[in-house]
Structure 1
Amino acid sequence: MSVPPPGPDAPRIILVDDLRSFVDGRAAEVVRTSAAAVELLERCRDGRVEQLWLDHDLGGDDTVWPVVEVLERAAFDGRPFDIGAVHVHSANPAGAAKVAQVLRRWGYRVRLTPGSPDLAY
């Protein structure tokens, strides 16, 4: 399901999670696979993402690592994505810690938020 981008004054919030959604119904672009997340990030490459919420395990063999690699490559190339905060909310503690470590290394502001009350199935 495609969600239109937010209006010009609305903060852009992206949720990458195969199952969960925001419980408060906030305006967010929700993608369920890493491929869809990479495509969405590329479409908003030159804009600001206020919040990027990442789940590690995205169902089956899919994980958030392709998304992390896009963010990492952008920072390596000297053009990191403009992201206010990355929230890693995975129930996979080892995977979440590794994602946070990699993204922090490249200067992204990362918060580990497992079990966030903002999200539910």
Structure 2
Amino acid sequence: MKEASTAPTPVVLGIDDLRPLPMATRIARTSREGIQLLEEHRDTFIDELWLDHDLGGDDTIMPVVTLMEEAAFDGRPFRIGAIFVHSANPTGAETVVRSLTRWNYRVRRATA
């Protein structure tokens, strides 16, 4: 007889307008939804956060990045194990990596 696992399910959040991100437990498709998603997890440890830079039309991930920067500036950074930037926009992705690295978030480029 197998015992049920008592380990908590990892929290893996994704903010991307198109990709399915099958490893994500929740996905936001716009920066507005992304901000709401992070706020809902404000006091929760987030194992992984997957970010796309371009979110369709004029929308980008930058409002989410600003929220994360302000949280760090206020001394309450989001508790995130690893942040992966998987954008096809190399300049935008590098901007996200630089911005979040500056605030001591663990972030790197990745492919999704």
Q: If the length of structure 2 is used for normalisation, what is the TM-score?
A: 0.91
2 CA distance for matches of 1:76 and 1:104? 13
TM-aligned CA distance change 1:11 to 1:98, over 3 Å: same
Aligned to 1:47: 44
Q: Which runs of 5+ in 2 are unaligned?
A: 1-6
Residues 1:35 and 2:29 aligned together: no
Structure 1: state its 5+ residue gaps.
1-7
Shift of 1:27: 4.7
Greater C-alpha radius of gyration: 2
Using the TM superposition, give the Cα deviation of residue 26 of structure 1 relative to its aligned residue in structure 2, in angstroms.
Answer: 3.0
Aligned residues: 106
Which of 101, 111, 119 is matched with 2:108 structurally? 111
When normalised by structure 1's length, the TM-score is 0.84
Shift in Å, 1:111 = 1.2
Q: Partners of 1:100 and 1:27 in 2: how far apart? A: 20
Taking the TM superposition and a 5 Å limit, the aligned residue runs for 1:94-109 are 94-109=91-106
The CA RMSD over aligned residues, in Å, is 1.2
Mapped contact 2:14–2:24 kept (Cα < 8 A): no
8 Å CA contact 2:12, 2:25 repeated in 1: yes
